[in-house]
Amino acid sequence: MVTGSYIRRSEGFTQASSVTQLTAEDLEAEGTMNLGEVVQNLSFVNGGASAITNTFQRSGADSRATNIDLRGLGPRSTLTLLDGKRLVNENVNALIPTIAIQRMDIVADGSAALYGNEAVAGVVNFVPYRSYEGLRIDTFAEQDSRGDYDEHAVQVLWGEQFGDLDLVLAGEFRQSGRLGYDERPTLANSGLTWSSVAPGNYWLPTRDENGEYTGERIRAKDPNCGAERDFITAHLVASRYGFAHSDGVSCMLEYGDNHSYRNPIGANKFFANATWDVNDDLTLSLQGFVTRYGELGYGSTSNPGNQRVRELPAVRGEMPHNPFRAMNALGQPLYAVDYNADGIPDRDSDKDLNNDGWPDPILTPNGGLVPWLPLGSSE
């Protein structure tokens, strides 16, 4: 049986580039079913594309995707093959079940002359079982000492020979739990997971001594903003009402209790290979695999995105329970004039100094014209 690999084996050959080989026993000894972790542990693999990181740091990789990055030249400089064939998706986490891999052949030197510019850093070939006799079942489980993170998996490999036909089937079912920031809050409490976005912060138009808009605006925090920051603790909402920033005009929102070091992941992988020896000169083979990889991501519930701030509506001054009391430049409360005594503040149809498309209310400081209504109240 000759494996369809373009990487020359070392037996009986003199090569300029050595081939590193990891057998199925070597992969089992790694103590993980995540091929991304196996790749990351190789001494000649480095770079962000091969890293397995959390979703908050955004280093270009996450727990779903791991590409092979030989010599740190980038994933596009390493050619990844499956049974000697190129892959559309080179994410090793989305390859065949680990139990179906017979060996890994690695050339960690430049091979562009043979394979093109995709192999500047080297070539990695995952060689699956094309012939197997019997049934093999592997189980894997791990958990940290605190009990807040766990991972478990089951793998099945089956093969049988029916005359001249070799059939190999494999499946992998893996689940990993979530490890949240609130379960290990040291990093989150260092101040990396709070921001000052809407809601909680507002822009208020400024007024002159007569209560007229000046065309300028100032920043103000929500009057209901919390006074101090609460430290993140497990399974509790931190700083439920936000907390005041030291600048005095910003309300900060804590979102670290929603983020994850590791998101929960579910992976289902299936592999099949059929080889038919028609005669001594003709062999037909059919090979395929399918992977379903799902991750439940956690993000900030308080931040709709800075690009959406413009979509948030302006709070009109005469709306009931408007939290911001209208004041003139002297700090005097302003009152809306109600000339017709219908309980609704009157507006000047010829004036729109803040350009909001609505006529400005007719205002007067305390002690002015009557009947009047406090601006921001309906009674």
**Domains of the chain, each with CATH number or no CATH:** 19-179+263-295 (2.170.130.10), 318-379 (no CATH)
With 80 as the cut, is the pLDDT of residue 319 above it?
Answer: no
Distance, CA of 221 to CA of 226 (rounded, Å): 10
pLDDT class of 312 with cuts at 50, 70, 90:
low
DSSP H or E segment with residue 175: strand 165-176
Q: What is the pLDDT of residue 376?
A: 47
- 299 contacts 263 by C-beta, under 8 angstroms: no
- Around Cβ 281, how many Cβ atoms within 10 Å? 6
More confident residue, 233 or 319: 233
- The pLDDT of residue 130 is 93
Is residue 370 pLDDT above 80, yes or no?
no
Beta bridge partners of 327: 333
- As a residue count, the chain comes to 379
Helix and strand counts by DSSP (H, E) for the chain: 3, 22
Question: How far is C-alpha 215 from the chain's CA centre?
Answer: 41
Question: Residue 132: pLDDT above 80?
Answer: yes
Segment 123-147 mean pLDDT? 91
Task: Evaluate whether 171 touches 217 at the Cβ level (below 8 Å).
Answer: no
Compute the average pLDDT of residues 32-49.
72
Q: What is the sign, positive or negative, of the torsion defined by CA atoms of 22, 28, 30, 33? A: positive
- Of 151 and 55, more confident: 151
For the chain, the straight-line distance linking the first and the last C-alpha, in angstroms and rounded, comes to: 91
Comparing 37 with 217, the larger pLDDT belongs to 217
Contact 336, 362 (CB under 8 A): yes
pLDDT tens per residue, range 14-35: 455 678 888 889 888 887 777 7
Look at residue 320 and tell me whether its pLDDT is greater than 70. Answer: no
Instruction: Rounding to the nearest 10 degrees, give the CA dihedral for residues 326, 329, 334, 340.
Output: -110
Residue with the larger pLDDT of the pair 7 and 93: 93
Sign, CA torsion 54/58/64/66:
negative
| 293-309 pLDDT per residue, tens | 888 887 665 555 555 55
User: What is the distance between the alpha carbons of residues 234 and 185, in angstroms, rounded to a whole number?
Assistant: 8
Q: Among 9-13, 15-19, 148-152, 277-281, where is mean pLDDT lowest?
A: 9-13
Tell me the per-residue pLDDT of 53-83, one tens digit each, with 9 for 90 and over. Answer: 444 444 334 556 777 878 777 777 888 899 9
Residues 100, 129: contact at Cβ < 8 Å? yes
pLDDT over threshold 50, residue 368? no
